[in-house]
Amino acid sequence: MVQNHTLQLLSLLAMDKPASFTKDDIRAEKIKVFKNLYHPSDEELKKHFIRGQYRSGKVDGMKYISYRSEPNVNPESMTETFRFRCLLCQILTVSAMYLSSSVRVNA
């Protein structure tokens, strides 16, 4: 689900203004974005894509437990609760777009 929302956000932010605001013209502009996405190498993925989990700590004096300490979460879970990526697009010029997302179980 996060991937779908991220790609929708990317396409809306990076697309050119459509000829009209019909679904077909908007879709055509979104497709242009996806066709021009830069395909990074494995090394570039390691450099530009960060995943993690939230840890225990304090925010504004309030204590929070780590993701793995949450009820009904496997203490050895590898599920990420934070993602940060740099998506590089080559449309007219190379531009960088940074997107991040995070979630707390009991937010």
Residues noted as catalytic = 5
Dig out the tokens for 101 from the structure: 């997302």
Residue 5 CA, distance from chain mean position? 8
Helix, strand, coil share (%) of the chain residues, nearest 5: 35, 25, 40
